[in-house]
Structures are given as structure tokens and as C-alpha cells.
Amino acid sequence: MGNCLDSSSTVQPANNDPPKKPNLLLLEEPKRSYLEENKSIISNGENTPRSQIRRKGFEIRRKQQTIVTFDAPTAVITDKPKTPKDIKLILDSLSKHFVFNGLRRDFSYSVIQEMKHFQLGQSETIFEQNQPGHNFFVIASGEVELLINGNLINTLGAGDSFGDIALLHDSLRTASTRTSKPTCMWGIDRKTFRKSLETLNKSYYIENKSFLQSIPIFHILTQKQKDALAAAFSRFEYAEGDHIVNEGDPGELLYIIKEGSVTCYIQEQPVRRLEKGEYFGEQALLYSSPRTATVIANSSVKCIAIGCKKLNKVLGNNLRQVIYSNSLKIAFDQSEFLQKLSQENMKSLISGMEIKSYTQGDIIVAAGAPKNSFLILILKGKVSANNFSIEKFGCLGDEAVANEITDTYEENIIAEEDTDIAVISGTRFCECIGGKFVKATSNNKILAVIKKIQLFRELGRDKLNEIIEKLAIEEFNDEQLIVEQGTIGDSFFIIKSGTVEVWIDRQMVRSITKLDYFGERSLLFNEPRTATVKAKGSVACWVLKKSDFASIIDEGIRSILHKRIQLQDSNVELSDLLPVKLIGKGMYGNVFLTVHKATNALYALKTVSREKINKYHLQDSILLERNIMMTVDHTFILKLIRTFKDQNRIYFLLEYVKGLDLFDVLREMGLVSDYDAKFFTASLVIILEHLHEREIIYRDLKPENIMVDDEGYLKLIDFGTAKIFSGRTYTVVGTPHYMAPEIITGKGYEITADYWSLGIILFEFLCGNVPFGENEEDPYLIYECILARKIVYPPWIQKNLPAKPLIEQLLSKNPSSRVKGGIENLKTHCWLENVEWDKLLMRQLKAPYKAKLPNLTKEIQLASKSTMSLQETIRRIEGEGMLLNGKKRISLKPGSDHWDSEF
């Protein structure tokens, strides 16, 4: 009965406009798309209607209510011991509910042990309709009545349960409950339930990681790879005498014993006994060889296991290839030459190297071969000559290839034991790193510098390489002026060697040295230098001329860079802004369109009153949102310019995005083409990559939180549910239709939960609806659909829908399988392989949709003539929504000292 009692009215109709026909001019595929091919099926050529319902996330930032409520306030609550009969009754009840039926049995027993005994008399209230839910109950004896709006709708008896959705979040009860006779119940509250699951899952996860550390074949894996595998194991239980594997059968799984013991038999003869923590079947992960022994349980045995298929999905490749790749990375890091290469260089080299195997005594390099003809990395074993030997992770030829040493080897180099190597020719080595070693490593240093500079941050790798090619080296003597304050600049400088002094108004303000930079604004703006820079001793700089930069950057990119640089202006003050109009109104704050008095630049200003901050305990949430937005800086993410505070409010000065949200755009477009879906999906991949590199999990990815700007490109907004994370997190947060199953079940989740949401959105792009619970508003029913994971495509969708493999990968039950070893593997998925990532990032691709937006000129002109100040406008808007019980709210209060100190 849980779905009758708890749900959240979190979805509201946006409008009742009929769905519009698709704009076929935006379908850029040269071939007929599946939309065109199926017009006869899709309502005689009309688009399948998209839902007009805006799906809202739970207000997890609500914190404490103004009125604190408790379930069953008159009950006598005790820690009464549970009999076997009680436990069976509770287990039977739990099995009927999705919140519990996915739990391991030991987890269920742990939850049962935490349940309290509630004893109530006749006609006592358990909870009231429209009050926040706290507990889940199982009736042990008696009767409970369910009432909606005072009307009796059902009666529950022994073995029935209710209130399970309260274990996930504090959504409002949709019914009232009261006893109709003396009643006893077992109950558990949300905090206890979630904490219990978190504790158990953490211990389970840590134990799995510990087991992984004990298995030699996993030692070479990175910590991220081990973390992913720790969450990917399956559990198996066996009774005494069960055959776990049989000699001669195909090998598929590696087993680790968690409880009990087993005996291994070869040709029916016992050869070894294995206990807790030991493992068997590891060869199955490396080779497709038959089992070499039979393994039989000596008693009740619990194992965890992982197979090749799941491991390949998690790691993005088979284990042998992952081991080789990781070994190569270790070898690169141990070479004083190869460690100077960039990660991109290393990836290119790894893909270009050939793996070879040798037996003891084999000649690996013959005498007389030039030393720079090959680079060899030892993956396994050992190689030697008369005067040296190289072991695992060692390199042969790295110095010679790097420095172009053409000497020859004077003797054969042989394998001392069975040995695996990775080898690449000297010529191919240079091709992979983009030229000679010295030049490539020098360019890597420059690239690392310019990637940090805002002006270059949005440029693709090809453009950055062009910039590096244009750099010229200039040398300066001691005391020589490099740039002079007040003169118009035309060059950008990166210090190659030496030290320079920066002077402002004849005062030396700082010294900067190797790989520092200055003068980047001169490449875009005709403005005077703000400082004098002169050499202190001999100095060499890489110099980029404005004319060379202009030859690389076209007008479109130049315009984008201008806008991004303008958003770095943190000198804007509240007093500089004029209010234009209210553009957003929420429960906690308002958003105003404002214009700068002097520059006419448009900004969005988000305001939150201190009264609401204190009333709803929003301090931590707003601080976190601010800190996250100050961390991110990307053309596809809403830019936070700065924050303000005064006695009454906190203010966020934001980039103004002129456009529509993706929810509205999709309803304008109808069903989108494969190209359009690819454009939007790739943009979201770029956004998530930027966030996840900074250890930020977004947690509420959906069309309503994505803007489509006036150029048709995406912009992620609203970081109220985002979190800076380390490891795993357990909070139930998000919007039900887009929520990953691991969030719902309390197993713990990480950044891969965002990719589940991406999979939902991709399905929505192409099919016109979400795959789970499209027609449901009750979170209980939505969660049931998600956990069932039965993806049903509309009948008019082709079986070979090009995006289908990616949809099903992103909606994988195993979170680690969604990106298959990392974001680069996702970006190279076959459906995305033709995406021009650099051009997309630089906004050089044709956007699928550009909205016809109103001209704001008149409104801005009116704002400049208005006598009402920004503060007066804000107070008026707040006043319109600040009536409580027919009276004005109390006067605003300043926040705490702690809050002030953070801003």
C-alpha cells in the first residue's frame, strides 16, 4: 500500500498547447531519418506528443520544517525483542516492496533489527495527510484505517505495511492513518534505515576492495579501476557438497571466498583447500581456457565473483589489455625521458605499440641494430646483455629515441625468462608524439600553460597547436623593457627562461618567472598596457603576435572569446546595475534581468533573502552552490561572476543566458533527428566531463535544468543539488524520472549516476518520452518502473535505431559499465565517433534549433529611465509574495557571523 500513502506533488503542467510539427529544415542527415521513414506509423506524419509536464526534483534543501512532526506521537515505542514469527512476518511484508526486495538477505535482517515496536490504542492517529513522512510500518496485530480528505478508503491488518516511500525522502503523506482497534506495529524511520544501508554498503564495498588488493592480477590496476570493480561483483551462495566449478568446463568467473571453505580436486583427487579471502578461477579473466580443477563447497559457502564480460564493460577492455596499458603507463613514469610526455602523447604511443612475447633465450634485439631504431618497454620478465639487465617496467632505447642517438648495440639482447614487451619503431614514435622528442616536450610545456588561460580555454587542440606553431622566441637583456605601461599592446608572452619584474606606476609589484605569462588581453583588445614588464637578467620568451593570432581565430571564435573575457569582469558592483525585469521566481529566491549602467552589458541577478536562508536552514546549501559555481568555468555552463551580500540578502551575479530551456525547445522541435540528438548529447558529455574532472556530481540532469542559448548551444544551469564528492555518496536527491537505480536503493553512487540521467535524456530526445514511468506522477510507481529496468521503445522506433546501443549502455544496471572505463571510451562510442568535438566546443557546428527571441531594447531603455532602484524593485517583488495569514512577514534579519564570513 506504500504507493497510496506517500507521493510528492512535484510535477506540474507547463501548458496545454498542442505539440508542434517538426521543423524539417533542421534535420541535417543526408539520408532519410527514421522519423521520415516512419511517418505512416507516427500518427500519419504528426509528431508523437511530448509530455507537457515539467518534472521537478525533490526540495532536498528544505531542511527542517517550521513545524516539526512525528509519526505515531501517542504510541508506546520500545526495543521489544523479535521472535522468529515476528521476523518472518516482517520479511514477508518487506518482500512486497521495491525499497526492500532488492536487498541482500543479511541487509534485510540488519534493517529488521533496527525496527522499533509501536503500541497504540483504538482511534489513535499515526500520521496526517499532507504532513512530511518519517517512518515505514509493518502491522503485527490490530487494524489501521487509511483516509483521504477524511474519507475511509481502505483498512489494513496484520502483515500489511505502509509508508515505505518515507524511507527515501520526506515527501508529504497522501493519506491519513489511524487505528480502528488496539494495534501493534514494527516501524523504522528514514534516518535509521538510510544509515543502516549506508553502513552495510560501505563495509561491503571496503571488503570487496580489500579482496581485490589480495589478488596479484589486480595489483596493476589503478585505484579508480579497482573502485569500479569493487562495485561490480556478484554474490553467490552454495550449500555443502555443491560443485562451484567443474574440471573441463569453460572458465568464465573469478571467485573470492567470503565465508566458508572449498576443496579443489584434479581428476577426483583433492589437491588444495581454500578458506575465506582466498580465490580461484583467475585464469578465466585472462584466457578462454577450460577449468583445470573441480571446486566443491565443504560447508555453507558465500562467494563474490566477476566474469570477463562484466569486467570488460567496467574497464572498457579485456583484462590483459588493461594490464598491458597500465604497465606501459608505469614504465613511462619510471623513465626520466618518457615521463616528460603528455598524457595525450602516452595514449597515442600505447595505441601504436605492438605487444610481443619471447621465451627464455630468445633474441629480442640483434647486435648491430641502431639504438634509436626501437623503443622497448618490458611488461613481464627480464632482458639482458653482458653488461646490463632490464626488469619489468624498464625501458630500452628511451634515451636514444629521445636524443636521436644512432650508436648501435654491440651484442644481442636476450630474454632471461619468459618475457612480454611492447615495442615501437623510432619513426613511428615521432609520428605518435607529433614530431621530434625535444620539440614535442617543449610544446607540451607551452600547451599546459595556455590551457590555464581563460582566453584559450575554449579552443580545441588543433587551434592550440596552430597557436604553438606561431610562437616565436625572443631574447631580452638585463633591464630591457619588454612591455611598457600605457602603450597599446600587440603581443602575448610566455617566459621560457629567466625572471621579469612587473611595475605599475613606477612601483615594482611582483616578479614572475619560467612558464608564467602576461599580455594575453592584447590579442583581442586595443587597450593600453596596465603595467610595465622588464627583464631581470637574461630572459627568453615565447611570443605570439596579435596578427598571427588573428590569422588563426576567425570572427565567430573571436566573438565567443570576447564574451567569455567580459564575463571575467569581477569589478561589477550592485550599484552599477539597473533592474530590467523579473525573469525567475522560486520558493527561496528571485532572478532579475539587470543591465550595467555604463557598459549596457546584461546580467542575471539571483537574490535570496536572509530571512529565508535562516528559516529554511539554507546556509550550507547556498555556500556549496556558490563554491561549486566558482570552481567551474566553461562555455556550456552558466557562469557565476561574483557574489554580494548586505544586511537583507545574498546576491549571485550570473551570466545572462538569452534563450529557452531545453524542455521548451524539445516541445517546439517535436521528435528530433539523429543528428540533433547527437549534437545535444555530445554537448552534455562535454559538460559532464568538465564537472567530473573537478569531482563535481550534478545529480539532477534533466531538460528543465539545461538552457538553449540564442546561438542554439546548451548551457547547464542550477547547481542547487550538485556536490563536490570523494568516493561514494548516499543522499536521495534528484528528479524521480531521471534518478539512477543506485540512488533509489541506497547502495551508494558516484558520477556514473549522472550518465544514467544522460541515458534517460537521450531516450527522451529520440522517443518523445522518458523510458520509465512516463505517465506516472507518484514517485513510488516511478521508482518501481526504474528498478524493473524494462526499456520499452515506441512501436515506430526502428529495431536498429543507431543510438540504441548507447542508450542501453548508459542505462546499464551496473553503474561502472555506463562509461566503460572512462569518459574517453564514451566519447569514442560508435554512435558518437563522427562528432567533431573541438568544433562543437568552439561553437562551429550548426545548432539544431535557434529560438525567435524577443528584442529587449525597449525594456532596457525603459529601465534606464526608471526612477525605481534595484533594491526598491527587489523589495517590491519580495513584498508581493510575502503575505502569511493575511499579514506582512516580520522584518528581514541579518544572517549569522558564520554566514557573513563565508561571503
Is residue 65 predicted with pLDDT exceeding 80? no
The three-state secondary structure class of 288 is coil
Fold of the CATH domain 460-552: Jelly Rolls (2.60.120)
Query: Looking at residue 127, what is its pLDDT?
Result: 96
Contacts of 750 (CB under 8 A, 6+ apart): 697, 725, 727, 728, 729, 815
What b/e string do you get for 141-169 counting C-beta neighbours within 10 Å, with b at 16 or more? ebbbbbeeeeeeebebeeebbbbbbbbbb
Residue 217 pLDDT grade (very low, low, confident, very high; cuts 50, 70, 90):
confident
Residue 59 pLDDT > 70: no
Average pLDDT over residues 214-241: 88
451 labelled ligand-binding = no
Please say whether the dihedral angle defined by the alpha carbons of residues 766, 767, 768 and 774, taken in this order, is positive or negative.
negative
- What b/e string do you get for 653-666 counting C-beta neighbours within 10 Å, with b at 16 or more? bbbbbebbbbbbbb
pLDDT (0 to 100) of residue 36: 42
Helix (H, G, I), strand (E, B) or coil at 517: strand
**Which CA distances in Å does 206 have to 200, 219, 228, 254, 307?**
10, 16, 12, 18, 20
Residue 48, pLDDT score: 56
Q: How far is CA 901 from CA 222, 642, 647, 765, 898, in A?
A: 40, 15, 13, 44, 5
Residues making up the chain, counted from first to last: 903
pLDDT digits (tens, 9 = 90+) for 432-486: 998 899 989 988 888 888 888 878 887 888 889 899 999 999 999 999 999 999 9
List the domain boundaries for the chain: 2-11+21-59+661-841, 63-196, 215-315, 337-437, 460-552
Q: What are phi and psi of 778, to 5 degrees?
A: -75, 115
Enter the CATH code of domain 215-315.
Answer: 2.60.120.10
Q: How many CA atoms lie within 13 A of 869 on its CB side?
A: 6
pLDDT value of residue 146: 96
State residue 37's pLDDT score. Answer: 42
What's the topology of domain 337-437?
A: Jelly Rolls (2.60.120)
pLDDT over 70 percentage in the chain: 90
Q: Which of 704-718, 751-765, 875-889 has the lowest mean pLDDT?
A: 875-889
Q: Could you list the active site residues?
A: 700
CATH number corresponding to 63-196: 2.60.120.10
Quick one: 134 exposed, middle or buried, by C-beta within 10 A (0-12, 13-18, 19+)? Answer: buried
The reply to whether 2-11+21-59+661-841 and 460-552 are identical in fold is: no
Cα-Cα-Cα-Cα torsion 894, 896, 900, 903, nearest 10 degrees, comes to -100
Beta-bridge mates of residue 132: 172
Q: pLDDT value at position 58?
A: 58
CA 896 – CA 709 distance, rounded (Å): 38
Residue 112 is predicted with a pLDDT of 93
What is the 8-class DSSP label of residue 207?
A: H
Please determine, for residue 51, whether its predicted confidence score (pLDDT) is greater than 60: yes
pLDDT in tens, 149-181: 999 999 999 999 999 889 988 888 999 999 999
pLDDT at 596 over 80: yes
Per-residue pLDDT reduced to its tens digit, 744-803? 988 889 999 999 999 999 999 999 999 999 989 888 889 999 998 789 899 888 888 999
pLDDT of residue 883: 39
Mean pLDDT for all residues in the chain: 86
Nearest to 813 by CA among 843, 844, 786: 786
The pLDDT value given to residue 20: 34
Mean pLDDT computed over 69-94: 92
DSSP class of 544? E
pLDDT grade for 69, boundaries at 50, 70 and 90: low
Report the topology of domain 2-11+21-59+661-841. Transferase(Phosphotransferase); domain 1 (1.10.510)
pLDDT in tens, 519-546: 988 998 888 999 999 999 999 999 999 9
